[in-house]
């Protein structure tokens, strides 16, 4: 009850801020303190509530609350029900940090956190060795993507001397030299690799069908509504950087299109219903990446929201 109420309160607060921003049209910036403070380089622990982050928050906390309510009945006979709800709440917390971070450092904290929680939740019934293997597979494949994500963050920090999204926006309009364009291409490519791992695109998609080993509400939360859309969130959040590297955009569109076709084809011949849903999710994520690759960010976000509801 405590866990479910906490998520419901989060949803109500998200709704309040959403309505507030609808009327004021002004994003809310919250600066807590500086984490890293070097001569010309500071990274702060800050949060931004704007249209994009609040849309994601409504999906995460809204569907999260419904899944918590469903889990009460689903897990009532389980011996470790307290641990389960602890993990579920931790997951919602990290997902919230991921979407409201005002810079890539805070986003990365949430990014790693949801990776950890997915590992804990997929392998929740740890007496079955097959489930443990699925959890390890998800964790390790996500680490491959996260290495790319980290390299992308370091490249951007070197290029712009900041990790702040607003700072990127200001610096990106001014940079025009060929070296900075090449480095920008490297960083967007590495961020795309990170997104590929988290959002299960070719070639890092094989963890998602195995991840259905966890309890059903976990599959609904992680593999439909929230965690797998983190890659789409990051690309949409940094859309002004991706706009400047059209070759990478082309690559995103191709990978998304191929994934959508490939995963749907595999899904046709699956016998296990949860496997069918898993490949369907990979296919839908491919369509979202295709939209991102052709500069249709608003369509990708729209599809994230509709997909979160019907798949969960």
CA distance 212 to 134: 8
- pLDDT over 90 at 97, yes or no: yes
CA distance 292 to 194: 15
First to last CA, the chain: 21
- pLDDT over 80 at 228, yes or no: yes
Q: Name the nearest CA neighbour of 245 among 155, 308, 309.
A: 155
Note the pLDDT tens digit of each residue in 106-133: 999 999 998 899 899 888 887 888 888 9
Note the pLDDT tens digit of each residue in 132-143: 898 888 888 888
Q: Name the nearest CA neighbour of 289 among 223, 200, 171.
A: 200
Note the pLDDT tens digit of each residue in 139-165: 888 888 899 999 999 999 888 888 888
- Taking only Cα atoms into account, the Rg of the chain, rounded to an integer number of angstroms, comes to 19
Token readout for 5 is 């109420």
User: What pLDDT is stored for residue 256 in this prediction?
Assistant: 92
Q: What is the mean pLDDT of residues 251-263?
A: 92
CA 250 to chain centre: 21
User: What pLDDT is stored for residue 203 in this prediction?
Assistant: 83
SS3 123: coil
Note the pLDDT tens digit of each residue in 189-205: 999 999 998 887 888 78
Residue that is written with structure tokens 């443990």 in the block: 132
């Amino acid at each position: 009850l405590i866990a479910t109420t906490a998520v419901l309160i989060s949803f109500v607060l998200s709704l309040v801020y959403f309505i507030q921003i609808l009327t004021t049209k002004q994003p809310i910036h919250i600066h807590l303190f500086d984490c890293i403070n070097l001569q010309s380089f500071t990274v702060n622990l800050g949060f931004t509530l704007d249209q994009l982050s609040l849309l994601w928050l409504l999906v995460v906390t809204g569907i999260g609350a419904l899944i918590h309510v469903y889990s009460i009945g689903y897990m009532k006979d389980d011996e470790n029900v307290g641990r389960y709800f602890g993990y579920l709440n931790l997951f919602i917390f990290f997902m919230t940090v991921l979407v409201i971070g005002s810079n890539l450092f805070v986003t990365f904290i949430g990014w790693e956190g949801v990776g950890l929680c997915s590992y804990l939740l997929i392998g929740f019934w740890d007496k079955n060795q097959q489930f443990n293997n699925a959890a390890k597979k998800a964790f390790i494949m996500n680490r491959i993507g996260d290495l790319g994500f980290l390299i992308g963050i370091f490249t951007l920090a070197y290029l712009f001397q900041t990790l702040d999204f607003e700072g990127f926006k200001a610096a990106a309009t001014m940079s025009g030299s060929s070296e900075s364009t090449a480095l920008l291409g490297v960083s967007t490519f590495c961020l795309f690799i990170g997104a590929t791992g988290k959002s299960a695109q070719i070639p890092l998609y094989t963890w998602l069908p195995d991840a259905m080993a966890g309890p059903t509400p976990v599959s609904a939360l992680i593999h439909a509504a929230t965690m797998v859309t983190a890659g789409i969130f990051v690309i949409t959040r940094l859309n002004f950087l991706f706009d400047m590297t059209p070759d990478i955009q082309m690559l995103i569109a191709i990978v998304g299109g191929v994934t959508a076709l490939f995963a749907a084809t595999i899904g046709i011949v699956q016998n296990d219903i949860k496997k069918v849903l898993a490949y369907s999710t990979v296919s839908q994520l491919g369509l979202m990446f295709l939209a991102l690759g052709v500069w249709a960010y608003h369509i990708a976000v729209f599809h994230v929201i509709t997909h979160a509801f019907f798949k969960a």
